[in-house]
Structure 1
Amino acid sequence: MINLQVRHESGTVMAGSEHGVVWDKSLAEIERSQFPMLAGVCPFADTVFNTWQIRMLLEELGRLPDGRGGPWVDAVRALCRTAEEGPHRYVWFVGD
């Protein structure tokens, strides 16, 4: 399971989510050309999104086909909003 967090550039965890991303075939085989942000998430390492990338990530979440979403999508959206509320905040997908 990939955990979700918002961290300040100092490393302080500012927010987290009870919903993580379950890495399954639907995400592992996502079309890289259509979903470059989501395709870049690594289940075995941390993936970090900055302010510019958060905007693209949100756009991609809105285009996910049926069956590739779940509670984690709303959790990521909420964390993106938290990250956008202040400077030097990043959305982290924390891999195993």
Structure 2
Amino acid sequence: MPISLVLRRESGEDIRRASAAYVPADASRDDQLYPLLNGVDPYSNTIFNTRQMRRLRLEAERLLDGPLSDDERESLEQVVEFCREGNRVHRFLWFVGD
């Protein structure tokens, strides 16, 4: 069940697509510590607005401080990068589920 990461404008135009599929970190399943990452639906689309991306970036950065597989680390680094790039009005981060 690959999850694609896409940064889009409000118009729906793609700004950027991740080079690799998003791989959720096992630790992100803790909905108390990582409520936004835990809410990513692998079977449908999950969309974050600019305000939510700020919190999402903090969650991803916190996870990056811990032990991760190479795929999990790469995925979270992409999330952080996309959230930084999307820190403007009318930008949305899409997790496109399978």
State the Cα distance separating 1:23 from its structure 2 match: 4.8
Residue segments in structure 2 that go unaligned for 5+ positions in a row: none
Matches within 5 A, 1:61-80: 61-64=60-63, 65-67=66-68, 69-80=72-83
Return the TM-score normalized by structure 2: 0.84
Moved over 2 A (4+): none
Preserved contact between residue 23 and residue 43 of structure 1 (Cα < 8 Å): no
Aligned to 1:18: 19
Residue segments in structure 1 that go unaligned for 5+ positions in a row: none
Matches within 5 A, 1:54-93: 54-64=53-63, 65-67=66-68, 69-84=72-87, 86-93=88-95
Percent of aligned positions with the same letter in both sequences? Answer: 34
Preserved contact between residue 2 and residue 94 of structure 1 (Cα < 8 Å): yes
State the Cα RMSD in Å: 1.8
1:15-57 deviations in Å (ceiling 9; x for gaps): 1110221357x26x71101100001000000101111111110
Number of aligned residues? 93
Measure the CA separation in 2 of the matches of 1:48 and 1:67: 24
